[in-house]
A and B are shown apart, each in its own frame.
Chain A
């Protein structure tokens, strides 16, 4: 093998160094002739006679040189072409085989490439910034729990001013922005609110104009500026440099365009795109409730930014941690941790990292199955050609030459399969991404564009597969034990070793399939359980309407008035039963959590103040929220119109909260302390899985939205009939209040619930698909072996019939054979399946890793597939005509 590659390389180089070779040969030949002549002279010839004799003994110099050239170069190029040509011809002679092989490979490699492109986009890619390894993210260890840091703008500024270990630090937050180039038509784009060192820290270059710095952010109140992304610049302004300095409208406020970021920069988050960046100090424009009119300096009090920083060269994360911790005494009670930020902010890593790895493992197994099938296919084919090979070996063909030809066939298949797989991979990843984003605005802007890592992966995979499935059969088929191959006709079933090899392949395939089928079974049952779990509320027939009056430039007071008016009118719409406002709709993309003090509650073992203020889920709602969702009151009352800004602060808690913090005693009338004020509990409601369906209900405190600060509200409406008929009425109402009010989204709540189970759904569907594929591959493998065995033993079957065997007995003969194969596969596969399912542990819900029912079902399904696969050859065996069989061959 190696010498082959070496010789090929030597030959190619020889083709280019022919002049050198000619000189060398002339020298060598001359020397040889001289020595020969001297020898003949010493034997007594005259110089002339000796020269003549030497030439005769040496042979024609020109002829010899020609032979040398042939050996060195030309010949081999010819062989290479010939190999390819032979291989093409061999494949064309048997298109069924070629097509099967190419398709099998395309599916195996295509699935792997597609899943790998997700692994790459989620787990491997780094931010397109220089030296991404120096970027860091911040988190805390708080009571043993790790939490991502969310900071106030002032904290970011403090560190930026004083630190000695960082080459820049910034805070970052995203928000949909209502964009208009000239004040008339508007569209939703992705905005980033960032602090002054954002671009400096990420080392982004401008494509036009300049990017803002600390001064621009500080002076943003007087001089609002923004930076556009390259994509938006191209899309909206056709890349014209005239855009620099002009005014655009963001949420109805005018901004000057300062510059455009370099092509390829897509923000600080790995799975998002950004269209426009604005100074964080302008956040009132994007979250009007926290704007200047609210009377509170929210920039100093509200934590809303994700911090990131760049370490100075040579500073380790530990050094920086210690330094920052030292500078900020406030944080000493919590441990600050710097994390690798080379991937930027990567929310999908935690939620999709594990599922994607599991899928990768599953498709890798499918690829192994594919390889086994292809090996089996090629082996069967080379067995059919065994006689031809033996003959060619006997008349002097080198083994290497035969292997080379078989490899050429495999490589051609690999090439065809590789091409098809790239197309397939592209299609699969597109479909998968569309599925991830189904029903909503593009939540995940995964950067799946073909990237060197993915292409290299695909090419390597195809080549490795080709060698794996091509070399083994080639090796087997050309083993130089000529005698048996020459002796046998096509009647015997080949040397026992080869048959054994093919059978072990089938056993291996069945074992592998069981692993995949079992995993798919567990994941599907998880999905079933989650999809049918009691949510504690009824999401069907509830419409969620997301409008953002702030986005068209309304002040906080106007926003509140618009929502009141909207709620009022929607309530009276025909077909609407109840309606309500909520800050964080059930199963939405974000929840609110805050700390709360429960007087009289002390958790065991922890004494400090922070621990006495547990962090729980909060939600801000209007009256009728629970009626709209279908949650019921256990005690107390709902919020009412009097629970507004001038009334006493009140709260409703859920059952879980009561169980945990009040030991199940009635809390109505009791007080909670939150944010320096007191809240009176006025009601208790039933639990709902409204945050994360898996985790179940969380301890939750509900506050009236009138007594809270929220950055946005969603209108919920329960309809009496099909919600689709009510949606146009809702939209009409919104437009009648403010014609220009942009609607961010309108959909029924069950879409959000479904979105919450997206990961499980993808895992369940894809693993089932791959399991079916695996079973199909194993079944084909089994079918091949049994069918081949029947064909090889046709004569024997004929004899058996001739001496009086029953059809049932003959079929039983082969049934026993395949039964042993299937049984061995299942026996080997079962412990492997149970062991590898451990890796799924964190992904399962409501089903044990070693669930015996799932295992039994998986085995039954596989056994049934095996039965189907063998029934055709068994039927053929039973139908063999003894007269024909005896004349077989």
Chain B
């Protein structure tokens, strides 16, 4: 959604990719707040993906509505009020499925692209 409105992104985010990245981050690192998730994505993507960090929050709402993550208000490291998100069992299952289908689709696209080059 946001990426549509910000054409300066280096790489267009496919729908669902952000969700997947958030699930993966929560799976790997345990409970995080929004800022922490943004940092993790920045670190992993090594600046390949530049996103408006606020987009994370819409994603988080979607994910928690599906029951894939849960949220809880808590105190942060410097004793400020922050909302912590953690992945649920359903979220882990979803992650595994997404991963599988992602691998299949990326494999498919890879093959299609190879095919195109071969025909040229």
Contacts and interface: CB of A to CB of B under 8 A. Distances in A.
B64 A10 contact: yes
Nearest to A486: B108
Given A3-B68, A6-B65, A10-B65, A29 B33 contact: no
Interface in A13-60: 14, 24-25, 27-29, 31-32, 34-36, 57-60
A32 B38 contact: yes
A809 interface: no
Contact of B54 (A4, A6, A59): A59
Contacts of A3: 66-68, 90, 94
Given A6-B67, A58-B53, A480-B101, A72 B61 contact: yes
Contacts of A68: 57-58, 61
Contact of B14 (A27, A57, A63, A396): A396
A522 B24 CA distance: 64
A398 B5 CA distance: 22
B57 A57 contact: no
Contact of A59 (B2, B34, B80): B2
Contacts of A32: 33-35, 38, 53-54
B53 A59 contact: yes
B57 A72 contact: no
B81 interface: yes
B57 A483 contact: no
B89 to A, nearest CB: 11
Nearest to A9: B65
Contacts of B53: 32, 36, 57-59
Interface in A467-481: 480
Given A25-B57, A27-B81, A35-B35, A64 B52 contact: yes
B15 A29 contact: no
A64 B65 contact: no
Interface in A48-89: 57-61, 63-64, 67-68, 70-72
Nearest to A21: B61
B25 to A, nearest CB: 15
Nearest to B83: A28
A67 B65 contact: no
Interface in A249-279: none
B36 to A, nearest CB: 9
A64 B35 contact: no
A843 interface: no
Contact of B52 (A34, A58, A71): A58
Contact of B55 (A34, A64, A70, A480): A64
Given A3-B68, A31-B82, A72-B65, A396 B54 contact: no
A844 B80 CA distance: 81
A7 interface: yes
B58 A63 contact: no
Contact of A36 (B35, B64, B81): B35
A60 B58 CA distance: 13
A67 B2 contact: yes
A404 interface: no
B99 interface: no
B81 A31 contact: yes
A775 B5 CA distance: 59
B58 A29 contact: no
Given A57-B52, A67-B1, A396-B16, A29 B57 contact: yes
B62 interface: yes
Q: Interface size bucket, B side? A: 35 or more
B104 interface: yes
Q: Interface size bucket, A side? A: 35 or more
Given A57-B52, A64-B52, A31 B80 contact: yes
B58 A64 contact: yes
Interface in B16-41: 16, 33-35, 38
Contacts of B64: 10
A68 B63 CA distance: 12
A846 B3 CA distance: 80
A594 B78 CA distance: 98
B67 A67 contact: no
**Listed residue (A4, A29, A71) with the most chain B CB atoms within 10 angstroms of its CB:** A71
Contacts of B2: 59, 63-64, 67
B23 to A, nearest CB: 13
Nearest to A480: B101
Nearest to B68: A3
Nearest to B1: A67
B15 A64 contact: no
A240 to B, nearest CB: 62
Nearest to B64: A10
A11 interface: yes
Contact of A396 (B15, B35, B61, B83): B15
A482 B107 CA distance: 12
B24 to A, nearest CB: 18
Contacts of B82: 28, 31
A35 B67 CA distance: 28
B108 A28 contact: no
Contact of A58 (B6, B54, B58, B101): B54
A70 B65 contact: no
A11 B65 contact: yes
B66 A28 contact: no
A24 B14 CA distance: 28
A67 B81 contact: no
Contacts of A6: 65-67
B112 to A, nearest CB: 10
**Listed residue (A11, A35, A60, A72) with the most chain B CB atoms within 10 angstroms of its CB:** A35
**Listed residue (B52, B61, B68, B82) with the most chain A CB atoms within 10 angstroms of its CB:** B61
B34 A28 contact: yes
Interface of A: 2-4, 6-7, 10-11, 14, 24-25, 27-29, 31-32, 34-36, 57-61, 63-64, 67-68, 70-72, 396, 398, 480, 482-483
23 contacts: A3-B68, A7-B66, A10-B64, A24-B83, A25-B57, A27-B83, A28-B34, A29-B54, A31-B34, A31-B81, A32-B34, A32-B54, A58-B54, A59-B55, A63-B5, A64-B52, A64-B57, A67-B2, A68-B57, A71-B58, A71-B61, A396-B16, A482-B105
Interface of B: 1-2, 5-6, 14-16, 33-35, 38, 52-55, 57-59, 61-62, 64-68, 76, 80-83, 90, 94, 101, 104-105, 108
Given A36-B53, A72-B65, 18 more contacts: A4-B66, A6-B66, A6-B67, A25-B57, A28-B83, A31-B33, A31-B35, A32-B38, A59-B2, A59-B6, A59-B52, A61-B54, A63-B5, A64-B55, A67-B57, A72-B61, A480-B104, A482-B108
